[in-house]
Chains A and B, each alone.
Chain A
Amino acid sequence: MSAVEHFREAYQSLAPSLAGAELPWLKERREAALDALASVGFPGRRNEDWKYTSVRWLGSDFAPTVAGHDPGDSIFVPRLETRFDRLVFVDGVFSPPHSRVRAPGITVRPLHKVLAEVEDRLDGSPQLTGAFAKLNTALMDDGAYVEVPSGTAVEFPIELVFVGTGRGKAANVRNLIRVGDGGQATFFERYVGLPGKHFTNAITELSVGEGARVELVRLQKEALGAYHVGQVAVRQAANSVATVRSISVGAELARIEVRVELEGEGAKSDLTGLSLGRRKQHHDQHVAVWHRVGNCESVQTFKSVLDDSARGVFTGMIGIASGADGTDASQSGNNLLLSDDASVQTRPWLEIHADDVKAAHGATVGKLDEDALFYLRQRGLSEKRARSILTYAFANAVLEGANAELAGRLEAVIWEWLGSGEWK
């Protein structure tokens, strides 16, 4: 059975128990999405966007999760240390015992509770056109819903945690986040997992109001057997500042797309990404920024460090629409190969339809600098330590300017990956 047929059958049996089953508009939308999925199918190698990432693993193994069918309470989920407000989902299903919300003045709820109110906003991002977005619309059951009212600044990061249990589930997660005009908030969206095989198909729709400032840190640290497809669709209004950091460490195969639409003048978008790959891992980071109006600024800084026979893919697109004069866009993609068997495919793309713009990109692929290694060795550091420090210095750049509460945790993730403890 093809993956498309598998998910259609799953929909047919799950439809009555999917979140919002009583909403006619949602049922209609889910079925339209299924039809669209059937007509385009999952992307193959001939699909330019998916040229370097295969979806053959998808098959018909993964069972979509629905809150009503699978309470997920028979599995032990370790307590996650945090001082932050958070929502926790296990295999895509909201887990009240692990969640808490205390911040005043904002709404943080599981999406299934508010579906009736989000008809206009669900799928409101023009970027969500691909097969995995359609699959998500058809089968999504839950996710986080966050509303930060205009003028409200949220002090601590809001944590959204998604735990995969490795029991062959397919979690179609949908997060809807809106930060009103002049609002400020930081989000820490992280995906962790127990050993085993599962499939996460997560979408975050983020709407940033005029003059608002938002930072979204997305950490993909699933267990090694997992398959992860994630999309972040951002829409920015005038004079807003959005930072998205996508860090991909876990999973057998991860494909993460960050797509930003700059819709109001004076908006600024700062996008960074880091892939840390080992063994036979496959990390695909895909970022696209479209400057729809003039006088916006965007910066893309993406890095990958690949060891063993890991594979890294980076596609970065800067799009500048006709009339978007005064755009300032830059992009850099740097790749570090630590092993002869590691490989990288990188595509730094520009599509420009306006002339009064600045757009530049740079991409590099290389290994650690021998001179720098020699310098550190000469000062008495072991080879391993010297390599770790240089690699850390390379990777760390994507954390520049990060929320102080989160920066330390992300640094720890990099050190943990390097396996050499924190440098003191």
Chain B
Amino acid sequence: MSSQPDVSSRPSSGQAEVDEILDQHDEYKYGFVTDMEQDVLPPGLDESVIRFISAKKDEPEWLLEWRLKAFAAWQKMEEPNWQFVTYADIDYQAISYFAAPKKKLESIDEVDPEILETFEKLGIPLHERAALAGVAVDAVFDSVSVATTFKDKLHDLGIIFCSISEAVREHPELVRQYLGTVVPVTDNYFAALNSAVFTDGSFVYIPKGVKCPMELSTYFRINAANTGQFERTLIIADESSYVSYLEGCTAPVRKENQLHAAVVELVAHTDAKIKYSTVQNWYPGDKDGNGGIYNFVTKRGVCEGDRSHISWTQVETGSAVTWKYPSCVLKGENSVGEFYSVALTNNHQQADTGTKMVHLGKGTTSTIVSKGISAGKGQQTYRGLVSIGPKAHNARNHTQCDSLLLGKECGAHTFPYVDVRNASAVLEHEASTSKISEDQLFYAMQRGLSEEDAVSMIVNGFCKEVFKELPMEFAVEARKLLEVSLEGAVG
């Protein structure tokens, strides 16, 4: 797959080039980004806010009604409390649901030195650092023309890859056909809220028989720089198509809003495959557990057609509280669902994550590999459901959940649910909990590794099965990311 874009192998430019690019920033001052900055809603949520958002985005009537329906449902719902995480109450009336994008920094010199140091450790190419730190991302990317080139190429193949707002304008029939079919507006509290107030996100449509030649990433979609706290993603892979989608990046991201409630919907038709990879490294709060992002996300894919395939891979190292279950509904015969996850909690971080595999069609198979690493005072929970419906003859599932504990005060919990209603199903669930043994450490250190390197080597070995599912350059970064995130957890 040589034609794929490669984040790390793009020609790296020196600081001088970055400066030059940043100097050109003026040209972009009157671009679409500035347009939006004039509109800010005061905090609060009622119907008028939703009408405002919808009007602002010039949405058709049906979408406004859809939002209002979601809002009405949300008002009747109660915030769930069964999860194994605790966080301060969220005041939904204190949030501004239509805020101007974060003000761009003028140059890389304004970036927090701590973040720059992390970039260095992660080995992020110089010209990307500015973009990641929030320095006028559009300028950077346009200058190297990566995004534009890609867009042309995708367009030639008939692939639609744009913001969801653009999709609503340009391809309303597609959006209307699929939006909310995988995650209904009433699915859960946060999905309902998202449906009512989402402001942006990505839309992907891969036509029949097309194999997307490159990994799609929000990274390359210029106006995705600030997707806001209520992101909405919809990916449709038509018959016999293939797409690999990357969400997030390894660089630390300082989001402004504490609550992030995104919804991601995937639809795979007959013989189609969607591979969705996430690396999440949002602000986890300080060492004493103050601040940090609440990452409450609903992600679900439907394997609609026979032999369709959806694969979720996630590396979750950031956020104060992570609470998400990327799931697969396996409707088509012989369809396949996969979930590979590495979640790391350090200091006071909490994560309650896992997956749901809902087998409805004959011969459906699913694989779950979850690796949880808990350090400091981190609390880590795997929670998952494997459900085999009465018609899912010969369904097959294998689940493996392993936890690694680093320290006396952390916790690792496993709450799987298995629901089988067909005798021909074969399921296995395995889980283990362990710590790094003195013997392992001694062995590695005896061979000249420092304690920190030894631990990081062992942790990487522990996560290997998941990392091998990541696109190559992502995997390299993910490995380094674990090292950085574990700093201070050893010794």
* B144 touches A (CB below 8 Å): no
Encode contact with A along B434-461: 1 for CB under 8 Å, 0 otherwise: 1100000000000000000000000000
Q: Does B169 contact A (CB under 8 A)?
A: no
Interface of A, secondary structure class, is strand
Q: CB-CB contacts of B80-97 with A at 8 A, as 1s and 0s?
A: 001000000000000000
A137 interface residue (CB < 8 Å to B): no
Residues on B with C-beta less than 8 A from A348 are 414, 416, 418, 429, 431
> Are A366 and B416 neighbours in the complex by a CB distance under 8 Å?
no
Cβ of B21 under 8 Å from chain A: no
Give which listed residue, B406, B414, B415, B423, contacts A338 with CB less than 8 A: B423
Cβ A347 vs Cβ B417 within 8 A: yes
A341 neighbours in B (Cβ, 8 Å):
390
| A324–chain B nearest beta-carbon distance, Å | 11
Structural contact, A339 and B423, CB atoms closer than 8 A:
yes
Q: Which B residues are in CB contact (< 8 Å) with A340?
A: 390, 422-424
CB distance from A23 to the nearest CB of B (A): 39
Q: Return chain B residues, CB-CB under 8 Å to A352.
A: 403, 405, 411-413, 433
Chain B proximity of A231: nearest CB distance (Å)? 22
Does B63 count as interface, using CB distance less than 8 angstroms? no
Q: B409 within 8 Å of A by Cβ?
A: yes
B410 within 8 A of A: yes
In contact, B411 and A351 (Cβ under 8 angstroms): yes
CB pair B430–A362 under 8 Å, yes or no, is yes
- Chain A residues closer than 8 Å to B155, beta-carbon distance: none
Q: Using an 8 Å CB-CB cutoff, how does the interface string of B376-402 with A read, 1 for contact, 0 for none? A: 000000000000101000000000000
Instruction: Using A352-B411, A355-B410, A363-B416 as known contacts, say yes or no to A337 and B423 having CB atoms under 8 A apart.
Output: yes
Q: Is there contact, CB below 8 Å, between B435 and A356?
A: yes
Q: CA separation between A408 and B285, bound complex, in Å?
A: 61
Cβ contact within 8 Å between B418 and A347:
yes
A367 CB to closest chain B CB (Å) equals: 5
Contacts of A58 in B (CB 8 A): none
Residue of A nearest to B425 (CB): A365
Cβ contact within 8 Å between A347 and B416: yes
- Min CB distance B224 to A, Å, is 38
Q: Which of B82, B423, B431 contacts A367 (CB 8 A)?
A: B423
Of the residues A52, A322, A323, A366, contact of B427 by C-beta under 8 Å = A366
Instruction: List 19 A-B residue pairs with CB atoms under 8 Å apart, sorted by A's residue number.
Output: A52-B419, A322-B408, A337-B422, A338-B423, A345-B417, A345-B418, A348-B418, A349-B414, A349-B415, A350-B413, A352-B403, A354-B405, A355-B406, A355-B407, A357-B405, A359-B432, A361-B431, A364-B428, A365-B420
> Chain B: residues with CB nearer than 8 A to chain A?
82, 388, 390, 403, 405-435
Instruction: List the 3 closest pairs (A to B, CB-CB), nearest first.
Output: A337-B423, A355-B405, A363-B429
> Footprint of B on A, CB under 8 Å?
48, 52, 322-323, 335, 337-367
